[in-house]
Amino acid sequence: MQFAADSAVSFAAIRTDLAAIFVSLELSRSKWLVTSLSPGAGEKMSKFVVGGGDMPALLARLADLRRKAEARTGQSFRIISIQEAGLDGFWIHRVLEREGVESHIVDPASIATSRRLRRAKTDRIDGEALVRALLAHKRGEPRVCAMLRIPTPDEEDRRRVVRERKALINERVRHVNRIKGLLFSQGISEYEPLNRDRRQQLDTLQTGDGRPLPPALKAQVSREIDRLELLLEQIGGVEEARDTMLAVAKQSARAPALLLNLKGVGPEFAAVLWTEGLSRHFDNRRQVAAYAGLAPTPWQSGQISHDQGVSKAGNPRLRTTLIQVAWLWVRHQPTSALTAWFKARVIQNGGRQKKSAIVALARKLLVALWKYINAGVIIEGAVSRA
């Protein structure tokens, strides 16, 4: 009986104190499931479906919810919506915000779920769970879920340069490996498709048993080279756009120019570090490390207490780049305090566990770069370019 009374009080507080209509959106390509909890409608959540991408129908339904709630209570209520981050990006959020709806996008992995072996999962269950998470978040309950900070259209577009280059590089690697694999099956192992004289070398190749390349194989390799050269041209165009972006930042004395001043940080690393992480706002160093997925994950139960390693729950592009920068930092910044810490840590472990130490160095380096960009704190012992 006490539990029922407490539940009634909590629902009453939700309806009167928050004074809002709570809506969750379960998005798919074919349909959008909208789950809502309105004031004056009891504790029952209503559900309706609109066609996928039909924004006018969604806005009409939200206006209908507001009109019905005002007819029941005599008050006008705002609408607060929530949706999971996914393939739809942020355009729905921007439309809702423009129409006066308070919109939130949540990290789906941050919402607590049942740990049963066979967990029931439907759009209906997920929609109700999103509404409950939104209610708890608006009540101020800690650690309920992680809401995303929505980038501006300019910030979102700026990240595409480095991401497109990464995709093109991966595709270039696949084409190079395919060409080498085709030739290796004929006993040819010294051909380099990325050399400028790749077509001249192709005409002089002979198989391992002394025969010229078969016509069909040579034609296939030629077509692969055509695709490879197109990729190289596109990579050059993307790198030119990246350099232009960094040049503009250098003229305005913004953060990417500060990164380029450090020895061991080149244009690509500076662009990735800035667009993927350091351009965002963080309150403290823990948030910085957590965003990159480099924060330690504790495991504590009774007398058992240890770390499980980094969480890997953050931005994977930023995390990968930071580990690469950490290796280069040790090589190009031998006099810095961070390099001295890394070497002392490796010596302490008897020369072992270098990979674990470099991940820890990447976390320290990210925090140091964040302080260097935002507060002007010089990294101890770091060498700048002349």
Domain ranges of the chain: 2-150, 156-251, 255-298+314-374
The answer to whether the beta carbons of residues 36 and 65 sit under 8 Å apart is yes
Q: Which residue has the tokens 């029931």?
A: 120
Query: Which structure tokens are listed for 101?
Result: 């709806």
Question: Per-residue confidence at 253, pLDDT binned at 50, 70, 90?
Answer: low
Q: How far is CA 348 from CA 204, 221, 303, 353, 354, in A?
A: 54, 51, 26, 10, 11
Q: Is 354 exposed, middle or buried (0-12, 13-18, 19+ CB in 10 A)?
A: middle
68-91: pLDDT as tens digits: 999 988 889 999 999 999 899 999
Residues 6+ apart with CB under 8 A from 267: 239, 242, 243, 246, 260
CA nearest to 23, candidates 53, 51, 59, 52: 59
> What is the arithmetic mean of pLDDT over 235-243?
94
301-314: pLDDT as tens digits: 888 888 888 888 88
State the pLDDT at residue 14: 40
Beta strands 102-106; 304-310: pairing state: unpaired
DSSP letters along 112-137, please? -----SS----HHHHHHHHHHHHHHH
Long-range contacts of 344-353 (CB under 8 A, 24+ apart): none
Q: At what angle do helices 316-332 and 354-374 cross, to 10 degrees?
A: 100
Distance CA 250, CA 254 (A): 6
SS3 category, 264? coil
Distance CA 194, CA 249 (A): 32
Distance CA 32, CA 62 (A): 13
- The pTM assigned to this predicted structure is 0.82
Question: Per-residue confidence at 299, pLDDT binned at 50, 70, 90?
Answer: confident
Rounded to the nearest 10°, the torsion over CA 338, 242, 282, 149 is: -150
Q: Where is mean pLDDT largest: 177-181, 282-286, 381-385?
A: 177-181
Alpha helices (H) along the chain: 2-13, 55-73, 91-98, 123-139, 153-158, 160-184, 198-204, 215-251, 255-260, 267-273, 285-291, 316-332, 337-348, 354-374
- Judge whether residue 2 has pLDDT over 60: no
Assigned CATH topology for domain 2-150: Nucleotidyltransferase; domain 5 (3.30.420)
Query: Which structure tokens are listed for 326?
Result: 């950490």
Q: Which residue has the tokens 């981050």?
A: 85
Alpha-carbon Rg for the chain, nearest whole angstrom, is: 28
Q: How far is CA 77 from CA 43, 67, 157, 239, in A?
A: 17, 9, 35, 50
> What is the arithmetic mean of pLDDT over 103-122?
88
Rounded to the nearest 10°, the torsion over CA 351, 354, 356, 360 is: 100
Distance CA 383, CA 386 (A): 9
For 190, list phi and psi in degrees, rounded to 5.
Answer: -105, 10
46-71: pLDDT as tens digits: 999 999 999 999 999 999 999 999 99
Q: Which residue has the higher pLDDT, 368 or 297?
A: 368
